[in-house]
Structure 1
Amino acid sequence: MSAAQSKIALVLAGGGLTGSVYEIGALRAIDDLLVDRTVNDLDIYVGTSAGALVASCLANGLSPEVMLQAFDGSHPEIRALKRGHIFRPNSREFLRRTVDLPRVLMGAWSHYLRHINDMTMFDLVWSLTEAIPSGMYDILALERYLRQVLKAQGVCNGFRDLERELYIIATDLDTGDRVVFGQE
């Protein structure tokens, strides 16, 4: 493949809030070193977890400087990212799982009685996993925040509308399989 046909990809990992700030700072430093391009001029962006948020902003043309301003609240059009956007308790699911607990316990007990001779302690514990919430925090507040940031900057919130390729890597919590979200 010739240099004219080659593409440049940026792959960003997770790391929570600290990882995001580190990545944005590193990208800002890389921007300072690049000649005749910025980190927003790359062809492909790939991210997982916190890196997915940074990658989506980059693919939409938000510079590392704008992202840093969003973090510290100094951007004139973007509200500051607050703790509640990230660490909002998953209250609805906790409540729903609590309400479902008697049904789950009865199901586990019934399963135990039907399989009393061949059921292990692991099987019993596994039958109770339905009572455990999928996570401590509700990600919807962060999703709404990102949607508002993209809207305030006049950019899209969909893969098909992007000028650059964006791929978000996730894990299917039911199967443990890798899932790739992107243009296709």
Structure 2
Amino acid sequence: MTDQKPILTGAEKALLAQLEQAGQAAGAGEFATAGLPTRRVESYHYSDLRSLLTKVPPLAVAADVAPGTESPAPYLSDAVCLEMINGRVFLRGSMPEGVNARKASGSVLSERDDALVRLNRGLAGEALYLQFDGRVGRTVLVSRHLSGDACHVVDGVDVIVAPGASGTLVEMFDS
């Protein structure tokens, strides 16, 4: 029996190189064997990612901008702002009572057997963990920015709401 590997597309080769650059040899090996999902994979039956994804921009590099001091959304001027710039988490100031925020390295996704989950786990740099305990009176704004040339960012936000807790969370993306 022969060991058959798919012929990788240009996009798959770029993703494979990014996994290797991120020091994810095991993930790169799995990706080289499986590639991107096609319609033959039941959970991707209606979205043949292998044929749809033709180009992959480089991963974002550390931004040369500092996090802002004001809320980027004037209509949320009273919100507590947590910024993610090019996939990096910036926590500043204190959180309102009932909110616990921390950053961690890696992905927030589970380890299920899925090509995109494996890519996220291999390429994610930082993640934001938010926990709401009790009633939170102020809005929490997670503001994500892309800075610099065309790129893609792999990060994550994991939100845990304790039983009986309540609050308002707004997530905003801009470039």
TM-score by length of 2: 0.25
Determine which structure has the larger helix proportion and give its number: 1
- Larger CA Rg, structure 1 vs 2: 1
TM-score by length of 1: 0.24
